[in-house]
C-alpha cells in the first residue's frame, strides 16, 4: 500500500509542468522503480517536449540494473505508440547490460524489418547478449535470417551476415558480470 502511494506520488510528480521538478523526480526513480513508474516514464518520454527530460529518462533506462525491468522495456519497444522512441529504447537494452537472450527473435525481427538505425541498435543488443539460448531457437532464427538475406539491401545484408556468426556464439555469461 505504501509502495503504491509512493508510485502514485512519483507519477504525479512526473506530470508536473516544472521541468526542473520532473528532472529531480527522474533522479529519485533511480532509487525505486516498478511497473507503474516505468510505464509513466515511457509515457513522459513520448509526450515531453523538453530535450533534457528525454535525455534524463534515456540515461536512467540505459543504466537499469534490475532484471525485472527487462520485460517492461521490451513491452515499450513492441508498442507502436513508442515507434518514434524505438531506436533509443533499443539502444538502452545494450547500454544497460541486462540479459535479453530470451528476446532474441524480437531483436532479429527488428534487424530484418526496421530502418537501418533501429536495425543497427538491435544488432548491437544481439552482439552483447549472454545466457542460454535453445539450439532449436537458434536454428529457426538462422533460417529466418537466411530468408531475409534474399531481400536485403547492402547495409542490412551486412548486419544479417554478421548475425549468422554471432547468434551461434552467444556466451553463457556476460564478460562484465561478477
Residues 6+ apart with CB under 8 A from 172: 130, 131, 132
pTM: 0.88
Instruction: Find the mean pLDDT for residues 26-41.
Output: 77
**The three grid cell numbers given for residue 30, joined into one nine-digit string:** 533511480
Residues 6+ apart with CB under 8 A from 99: 67, 70, 129, 130, 131, 174
CATH number given to 1-98? 1.25.10
Nearest to 8 by CA among 38, 45, 39, 36: 36
Examine the pLDDT at 150 and tell me if it is beyond 70.
Answer: yes
**The three grid cell numbers given for residue 136, joined into one nine-digit string:** 532449436
48-69 pLDDT, tens digit per residue, is 999 999 999 999 999 988 888 8
112-132 pLDDT, tens digit per residue, is 999 999 999 999 999 999 999
Amino acid at each position: 500500500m505504501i509502495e503504491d502511494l509512493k508510485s502514485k506520488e512519483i507519477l504525479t510528480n512526473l506530470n508536473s509542468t516544472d521541468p526542473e521538478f520532473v528532472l529531480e523526480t527522474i533522479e529519485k526513480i533511480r532509487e525505486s522503480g516498478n511497473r507503474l513508474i516505468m510505464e509513466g516514464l515511457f509515457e513522459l518520454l513520448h509526450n515531453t517536449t523538453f530535450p533534457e527530460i528525454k535525455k534524463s529518462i534515456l540515461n536512467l533506462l540505459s543504466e537499469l540494473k534490475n532484471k525485472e525491468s527487462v520485460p517492461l522495456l521490451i513491452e515499450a519497444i513492441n508498442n507502436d505508440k513508442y515507434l518514434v522512441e524505438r531506436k533509443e529504447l533499443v539502444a538502452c537494452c545494450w547500454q544497460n547490460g541486462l540479459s535479453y537472450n530470451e528476446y532474441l527473435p524480437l531483436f532479429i525481427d527488428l534487424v530484418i524489418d526496421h530502418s537501418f538505425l533501429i536495425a543497427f541498435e538491435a544488432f548491437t543488443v544481439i552482439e552483447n547478449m549472454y545466457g542460454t539460448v535453445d539450439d532449436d531457437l537458434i536454428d529457426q532464427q538462422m533460417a529466418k535470417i537466411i530468408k531475409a538475406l534474399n531481400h536485403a539491401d547492402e547495409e542490412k545484408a551486412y548486419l544479417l551476415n554478421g548475425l549468422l556468426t554471432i547468434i551461434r556464439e552467444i556466451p553463457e555469461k556476460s564478460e562484465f558480470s561478477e
